Amino acid sequence: MTFVERRGTMAQDGPHSQTIAVIGGGIAGLTAALEAAETGYDVILIEKEPALGGRVTRLNRYFPKFCHPTCGLEINYQRLRKNPRVKVLTMHEVVAVDGEKGNYTITAKKLPRFVNEKCTACGECGKVCETEIDDPYNYGMSKVKAARLPHEHAWPMRYVIDPVVKGTDDQKRIEEACKYGAVDFSEEEEEVTINAGAIVWATGWRPYDARKLETYHYDSSPDIINNVEMERLANHDGPTGGKVVRPSNGEPAKKVALIQCAGSRDVNHLPYCSMICCLASLKHAAYVLEQYEDAEVHMYYIDIRAHDKMQTFYERLKVDPRLKFIKSKPAEIGLGEDGRPYVKGERTIDRELYCESYDLVVLATGMEPEAKGVDIKGDVVKDEDGFVLALEGEDGGQFSCGVAAGPFDVALSTMSGTAAALKAIQAVGAR
């Protein structure tokens, strides 16, 4: 490896770097980084979270086959372990990029983890830590110790300590509990710059903020959740150990409403279709139907978008009489006097008005590009929705893949990761 570290700058010698920087360590970025490294290129993979894997680590199952996302991720981690050409920087949030092909400067905020590479994940720091925080892995639906492993399949398998502990008695307890010299509270937030010859943007997405949907009153009840929270609710390492229950009181959630296009295909929110929400909601219907024989699931939709082979997945679920499809965009969702959420509106086909109560309402919010707030200059542009696109016909060195480039499922994200790796290789030139 030819990385040189000097005064906070990671670089390859010379102005025409052949190093490829991949920004974002989700499934798309992991794919791009590994494909480039396995072809013989040095890669810096930059991730803002304490562990790799991105949003898919928090999914319960993958449509259409219902396999667990950790299987696919684990294969990539094995490839990563075997490949010294990929330098992984976690807890580095890229805030700006400048420069040109062969010589980009990436500015990142390095966040303190307070735990170094000597950590063996023995868990002693977590045992003595008394402070609890909202668990970011579970979207704040549960509490977790401030000294924690990000999740059970985390890569790197290393603890992270929340800054809230600094200066408290917990700090002393944690320092004393660690037998390996892995705890380091002297770490500070700092700015680092990274030099690279080509860049792959793989910054992915965040769920659209359901609080912006004023008539859906997301904040009025814990039993009105969004689709990423539903993934956690159904997951064995989620806040309820995998039981789909009413977050308000822990009772079984047997009657469930799934609300499609919650903010999507709406000029006031996300004007585009996120492509995966109908399929994710069909998956959510399956989670409920699997758990409760007497379940009743209602899917409110504009039209069901199940592309290509996903149509078979849709057809398979459609025949279950416990799953009802209601063509309508609900006008209002709120908390009823009986403490249960209701869904109100007009059916599109027969113009019948309805107002129905549920145990749980799930808003299928779309995917909003995470790169929206990042200061990107040079040979890529952000379209009006914030997706990152390489300029057509330009001789540039920045590319994008995964949901940074468009609303893709995992299969398309990995394919675009491979394509972006190839373009980055072409940009830095033959070795």
Ligand X SMILES: Cc1cc2nc3c(=O)[nH]c(=O)nc-3n(C[C@H](O)[C@H](O)[C@H](O)COP(=O)(O)OP(=O)(O)OC[C@H]3O[C@@H](n4cnc5c(N)ncnc54)[C@H](O)[C@@H]3O)c2cc1C
Residues that bind ligand X in the complex, under the rule CB under 6 A: 23-29, 46-49, 54-56, 59, 62-63, 93-94, 202-205, 227-228, 231, 276, 280, 283, 367, 370, 374, 402-404, 408-411, 413
Q: Facing residues of 147 across strands?
A: 161
Cis omega (within 30 of 0) for bond into 163: no
Cis-peptide, bond into residue 207, ω within 30° of zero? no
Q: Tell me whether residue 52 or residue 115 sits nearer to ligand X (CB atom).
A: 52
Of residues 181, 1, 24, the one with CA closest to residue 94: 24
Q: Which is nearer to ligand X, 95 or 177 (CB)?
A: 95
Q: How near is the Cβ of 227 to ligand X at its closest, in Å?
A: 4
Alpha-carbon distance 60 to 311, whole Å?
21
**Alpha-carbon span 4 to 208, nearest angstrom:** 39
Closest to 206 measured CA to CA, from 60, 52, 368:
368
| DSSP code at position 331 | S
The residue (of 335 and 424) whose beta carbon lies closer to ligand X is 424
User: CB of residue 389 vs ligand X: minimum separation in angstroms?
Assistant: 14
Task: Tell me how far, at minimum, the Cβ of 253 lies from ligand X, in Å.
Answer: 17
Residue number with CB closer to ligand X (106 or 129): 106
Distance of closest approach, residue 19 Cβ to ligand X, in angstroms: 17
Output the smallest distance, CB 161 to ligand X, in A: 19
Q: How far is the CB of 205 from ligand X (least distance, A)?
A: 5
Contact assessment for residue 81 and residue 37, using Cβ atoms and an 8 Å cutoff: no
Cβ closest to ligand X, residue 71 vs residue 411: 411
Q: Minimum distance between the CB of residue 315 and ligand X, rounded to whole angstroms?
A: 17
Which lies closer to ligand X via its Cβ, residue 93 or residue 175? 93
Torsion of CA 139, 140, 143, 145, to 10 degrees: 70
- Residue 122 beta carbon to ligand X: minimum distance, rounded to whole angstroms: 26
Q: Rounded to the nearest whole angstrom, what is the least distance from the CB of residue 180 to ligand X in the complex?
A: 27
Please name which of 255, 216, 232, 238 lies closest in space to residue 340, comparing C-alpha atoms: 255
Of the pair 63, 216, the CB lying nearest ligand X is at 63
26 vs 183 by CB, closer to ligand X: 26
CA dist 230 and 149 (Å) reads 22
Q: How many CB atoms lie within 10 A of CB 59?
A: 20
Q: How far is the CB of 96 from ligand X (least distance, A)?
A: 10
Helix (H) or strand (E) holding 126: helix 124-128
Dig out the tokens for 307 from the structure: 């592309």
Instruction: Give the shortest CB-224-to-ligand X separation in angstroms.
Output: 15
Which amino acid, 5?
E
The DSSP secondary structure of 247-313, one letter per residue, reads TTT--B--EEEEEEEESBT-TTSB-S--SSHHHHHHHHHHHHHHH-TT-EEEEEES-----TTHHHH
Nearer of residues 25 and 345 to ligand X, judged by Cβ: 25
Task: Report how far apart the first and last C-alpha atoms of the chain are (Å, whole number).
Answer: 13
Q: How far apart are CA 407 and CA 402, in angstroms?
A: 8
Nearer to ligand X, 88 or 129 (CB): 88
Q: Exposed, middle or buried, 336 (CB in 10 Å: 0-12/13-18/19+)?
A: middle
Question: Measured from the CB atom, is 129 or 374 closer to ligand X?
Answer: 374
